[in-house]
Amino acid sequence: MNTKYLLPLLILALVFAACGPSPEELAAMTAAAWTPTPVPPTATPTPTPAPYDLTALVADAEGATIANASIVLEGSDTPVVTGEDGKASWTNLPAPDGSLTISAPGYFASEQTFSLSRGPNDLTFALERDPNGLLPSQACAPGETLLYVEDFQDGQAHGWPEIEFFAQGWLIEEYATEPGNLVASNNNMSHHGNSLQNASYSDAVWRLRFLVNGRRPLSFNWLQNYGVDIEGQHVDDARYQIVADTDGIGIRRLTLPVLNIGAASGRGASAGSWHTIEISTYQGRTEVWLDGQKNSAYTDPKPLPGGGIGLELMSFDTSKPDTIVYFDNLSVCGLSAPFTSLYVAP
């Protein structure tokens, strides 16, 4: 190589080497490029406290579960009904302490307190038997299904607004010779009636006790409908009307204003005594039983549709002034077979 060019090249290389980073600087730069950027530590989340959950088991004094008990939680107006296992449940309650108002047919209503731990709580609440109350097991015969019961023992007539608000001469009062037994009574001698609200039944039996202290005809309105089309005609009032008086009990088939037909009749109900009447319809056959004895029956070739129940107090010339009528222990039970009486004839 020509030496005259070699010397300048060596000088130029030394200049470039003197201007670059030292080996130590290069090592530091390399380490910095491969060191991860520190990540701030993640805060540990605060655990969410377990909610207050309650499962209430309603039972009698012997521990037998009570189905269809009504439970109202403190601060709520909506009742919760126990299932066949006697239980009702609430989740995520706002506080550990509270109270339940519990009522069931055949038992004294009671308000009971509770105190919960966080998480699930299974508590049992016992009810005391009311000797004047109607138990569901007493309301229906074996094989029947309880659909409705009202014994007035809580001082109310659920679903009967005229009785509930003491209108048209209605009261709920203790019957004089049955201490502790609350019944519905009426002393209004004008013609009037009322119906159970929002109820409709078919293939069922309606049972109740009644007593007429004096004399006036009563109408037990069965499978009643208002404003329906029957047999191609618009009907204002359709029902089987069971008219009971001391001189006889009759079954009438009403499709007003079209027809009012007397269908069957039987013996009357004596005044001054409690009677139990059973009014049933199964597959078009309507039967009336009084005090465990068959009173009258009618098989309708064109059965009326299912409907509600109603009490009607009539005013005839035979009525005696100051008559008081009493009602107690109303129940409706579904039928899956022809009707048989729950009571033994005296």
Taken in order 145, 151, 157, 162, the sign of the CA dihedral is positive
More confident residue, 84 or 19: 84
CB 212 within 8 A of CB 269: yes
Provide the token pair at 173: 């009062």
DSSP reduced 3-state for 5: helix
CATH class of this structure's domain 136-334: mainly beta
Determine the average pLDDT of the residues in 241-264.
97
User: pLDDT tens digits, residue range 175-196?
Assistant: 999 999 999 999 999 999 999 9
DSSP reduced 3-state for 101: strand
Provide the token pair at 156: 């109310």
CATH class of this structure's domain 52-126: mainly beta
Check whether 33 has a pLDDT greater than 90.
no
Lowest-confidence pick of 37-46, 60-69, 70-79, 283-292:
37-46
Tell me what pLDDT residue 17 has: 47
Tell me what pLDDT residue 262 has: 98
Tally the C-alpha atoms within 13 A of residue 8's C-alpha that lie toward its C-beta.
3
Which spans in the chain are helix H?
Answer: 3-19, 23-34, 136-139, 161-164
Domain boundaries, the chain: 52-126, 136-334
Given pLDDT bands bounded at 50, 70 and 90, which one contains residue 36?
low
Distance between CA 63 and CA 317 in Å, rounded? 54
Lowest-confidence pick of 11-15, 122-126, 163-167, 317-321:
11-15
CB 316 within 8 A of CB 246: no
Determine the average pLDDT of the residues in 295-320.
94
Which spans in 99-198 are helix H?
Answer: 136-139, 161-164
Angle at the Cα of 253 from the Cα atoms of 247 and 259, rounded to 5 degrees: 115
Concatenated DSSP letters for 207-253?
EEEEEEES---EEEEEEEEEEEEETTEEEEEEEEEEEEETTEEEEEE
Given pLDDT bands bounded at 50, 70 and 90, which one contains residue 199?
very high
Closest CA to 296 of 262, 254, 259: 262
Tell me what pLDDT residue 41 has: 74
The pair phi, psi for residue 44, each rounded to 5°, is: -70, 120
Given pLDDT bands bounded at 50, 70 and 90, which one contains residue 317?
confident
Given pLDDT bands bounded at 50, 70 and 90, which one contains residue 16?
very low
